[in-house]
Amino acid sequence: EVQLVESGGDLVQPGGSLRLSCAASGFTFSPYTMHWIRQAPGKGLEGIAYISTTGSTIWYADSVKGRFTISRDNAKNSVYLQMNSLRDEDTAVYYCTRDKSVVAFDYWGQGTLVTVSS
């Protein structure tokens, strides 16, 4: 069974940092581009970063560029999101997703909640 399990969400003060992890299981991880997608409370979906199979291609949304870093470890079947200089507007549920082709996110984790507040 394909599973994506996010962890690392927490309450953090503005300006703080967090590292999210996503552990994948039930499929061969390395051939898939992986994405982080977030959803602020009561709002829509926002793609914020993706990393290609080997990490050679990385993309960030303008809203997080320069503050967030995506990485992956194919040996550990995991993808990460290092979040620095967090802002109130980063408060959201963060989902890890697998892309089976091009923006075809066929599996999603359960999400992890990041709350940025003083």
By the criterion CB under 8 A, which residues form the site for another protein?
Answer: 44-47, 57, 59, 61, 95, 100-106, 108-111
Closest contact distance (angstroms) between CB of 108 and another protein is: 4
Closest contact distance (angstroms) between CB of 118 and another protein is: 27
Closest contact distance (angstroms) between CB of 16 and another protein is: 26
Contact 97, 5 (CB under 8 A): no
Closest contact distance (angstroms) between CB of 45 and another protein is: 4
Q: Please, which residue, 16 or 91, has the CB nearer to another protein?
A: 91
Q: Please, which residue, 6 or 90, has the CB nearer to another protein?
A: 6
Q: Please, which residue, 11 or 103, has the CB nearer to another protein?
A: 103
Q: Please, which residue, 23 or 61, has the CB nearer to another protein?
A: 61
Residue ranges with strand state E in the chain: 3-7, 11-12, 18-25, 33-39, 45-51, 58-60, 68-73, 78-83, 92-99, 105-108, 112-116
- Edge-to-edge strand ranges of the sheet holding 3-7: 3-7, 18-25, 78-83, 68-73
Contact 50, 30 (CB under 8 A): no
